[in-house]
Structure 1
Amino acid sequence: MGDRLCGSSTNYDSHHTPVSQEEASSTSKGEFAYNSLVSRSTSSLSSLSESEQKAEFHDIVLICSERAKKERDLFLTFCRKQQWKVYLPSMEKLLGERRSATFKRGFDHSTYIVVLITSCFQEDVWAVERLQIALIKSIEERYQNVIPVLFGGLLPFEMSAIANVKYDDEFFEHVMKKSIKTDTRIFKQNQEDCRFQSAQGTMATPPPAYEIESMDSGEGCSISSSYSEEFNNMLTEALPSEISQQYLTTKQFQGLCISLDVTDPGLNDWRGLANSLDLTSSQIKFLEDKQARTSEYSPTKLILDVYFEHNKTVDKSSILKNLNELFTEMNFGRGIQITQEAIETFIG
Structure 2
Amino acid sequence: MQKVKTALLSYGMSGKVFHAPFLSFHTGFELVGSWERSQKKIQEEYPDTKSYSSLDSLLEDDIDLVIVNTPVETHFEYAKKALLAGKHIVVEKAFTTTVAEAEELHALAKSKGLKLAVFQNRRWDSDFKTVKAIYSQGILGDLVEAEFHFDRYNPNLSPKQHKESRNPGAGILKDLGPHLIDQALHLFGFPDAVFADIRITRSHSAVDDYIDLLLYYSSFSVRLKASFFVREAIPSYVLHGKKGSFLKSRGDVQEDDLKAGKKPDLIHWGKETPAQEGILHTEKDGAIIHKKVPTLSGNYYDFFEGLHDAIVYDKQVPVTSEDGLKVMQIIEASIQSNQEKRVMFL
TM-score, normalized by length of structure 1?
0.22
Q: From the CA coordinates, give the structure whose radius of gyration is larger.
A: 1
TM-score, normalized by length of structure 2?
0.22
Instruction: State the structure with bigger RCO (CA 8 A, min sep 6), 1 or 2.
Output: 2
Relative to its length, the structure with more strand (as a share) is 2
Relative to its length, the structure with more helix (as a share) is 1
